[in-house]
Amino acid sequence: MNKLFDIESASKIISSGQQILFIAGSRQALSRLPKGPWIGGTISYFTDPAGGTCDQEKVFIHALPEWIAPVPRIERLNLENVKEVYQRIPSNGFALTIIPAFSKLHTSFAVDAPSYPDFATAPLVGWISGVHLDDLGKAAPAVIDGSTGEFMESEGVIAYVTLPDGHYADLGIVNLFRQGKGPAIKFPDGGFSASKAVIDGIEVDFAAWCREQDIDVRLPLVADYGGAMINVSFQTISADHVDFYAPVFPGCAYHQADPIDDYPTEFAKHAPEGEIAFACNCILNYLYAELEGKVTAIHGPATFGEIAYQLLNQTLCYVRFQNLASGH
């Protein structure tokens, strides 16, 4: 598992009765898979063990280990029930969700999740589905419930997984970006775009400031969340506002990141130990670090957003299972 499979091999895995599978692939590839206990999302970019690749024919499979006996609960995630997502995660378990990019659910979750009841008290991991970059604006990102074969473009899909006693799901992130030495940037209003910012205490036209500074949009804004570096990636700098791939939040102080010299080498230094059950990395890391053809330490889809408790950008997130008794 944790690699790309052709459709014939993937179909055999699904039909074998393997514990739930998390599958990523192009819409045409996913549509050729048999029904079964799996959830999936559309994407065509992967960090495969053989190297980063764009592939419209194969699908990337993560599977739960066989020792997780209970059958996960697969549900749709919508604008109503997403508010209860942390509360609905089994007390000894975790949830993996896939949400279509550009959907209202994507926006709602990104902005409001930190305010949902019991935020971060249960492990929620997942990713934002996307499309081939040539199809941006032409095709809609989607998710699929493998048990019915139905694609959804406005709803998400989520698997609630109960772990056997004595185990728990440990979520982690690998974010190589650190806050640079530039000025602190605050935003009076939150959201996926900003027209005004307060920089070193002075309110500025943020789009104009970005142009004046000739900033490198490949380097995200980084906020320090209790020691965790949380990115907000630049999308476009327009005449009068700046669009992001994740929301900025009022009250957070952001600094633009310093550049990373060699992503695969630096990534290898920060790769987590132990067996990784699931991982995804950001398509912006795939593109900006030119990962196509390069081998990285952790494998999964290259996504339009990552979820580890909340929406993340330009970050790898992962799940590994640990033993309550030993902590390993």
Partner 1 sequence: MTATIPSATDPRWSKLILGQLQPDFLGARVLVGRLTASYSMDPTPATMTACCLELHGFYTKLAHLPKIQAEIAKLFP
Q: Give residues 81-140 in contact with partner 1 (rule: CB under 8 A).
A: 114-115, 118-121, 123
Of residues 101, 144, 197, 223, which one binds partner 1 by CB under 8 A?
223
Stretch of residues binding partner 1 (CB under 8 A), selected from 10-18, 19-27, 71-79, 221-229: 221-229
Q: Does 16 bind partner 1 (CB under 8 A)?
A: no
Query: In this structure, which amino acid lies at residue 94?
Result: F
Q: Does 251 bind partner 1 (CB under 8 A)?
A: yes
Of residues 112, 168, 287, 297, which one binds partner 1 by CB under 8 A?
168
Of residues 153, 205, 224, 258, which one binds partner 1 by CB under 8 A?
224
Stretch of residues binding partner 1 (CB under 8 A), selected from 138-146, 205-213, 275-283, 319-327: 319-327
Query: Smaller CB distance to partner 1: residue 154 or 162?
Result: 162
Q: Does 162 bind partner 1 (CB under 8 A)?
A: no
Stretch of residues binding partner 1 (CB under 8 A), selected from 28-36, 63-71, 210-218, 307-315: 307-315
Query: Smaller CB distance to partner 1: residue 83 or 218?
Result: 83
Q: Does 201 bind partner 1 (CB under 8 A)?
A: no
Q: Does 252 bind partner 1 (CB under 8 A)?
A: yes
Q: Is residue 311 within 8 Å of 107, Cβ to Cβ? A: no
Which residues neighbour 42 within 8 Å (Cβ) at sequence distance 6 or greater? 24, 25, 26, 27, 30, 100, 129, 130, 131, 141, 142, 143, 144
Show the tokens assigned to 17.
């009765």
Q: Does 257 bind partner 1 (CB under 8 A)?
A: no
Stretch of residues binding partner 1 (CB under 8 A), selected from 17-25, 128-136, 198-206, 225-233: 225-233
| Bridge pairing between strands 124-129 and 93-100 | parallel
Q: Does 173 bind partner 1 (CB under 8 A)?
A: yes
Of residues 33, 95, 171, 242, which one binds partner 1 by CB under 8 A?
171
Minimum CB distance to partner 1, residue 263 (Å) = 21
Distance CA 307, CA 96 (A): 9
Query: Smaller CB distance to partner 1: residue 53 or 315?
Result: 315
Of residues 17, 201, 226, 293, which one binds partner 1 by CB under 8 A?
226
Q: Total binding residues for partner 1 by CB under 8 A? A: 31
Q: Which residues bind partner 1 (CB under 8 A)?
A: 114-115, 118-121, 123, 168, 170-173, 223-228, 230, 249-253, 308-310, 322, 324, 326-327
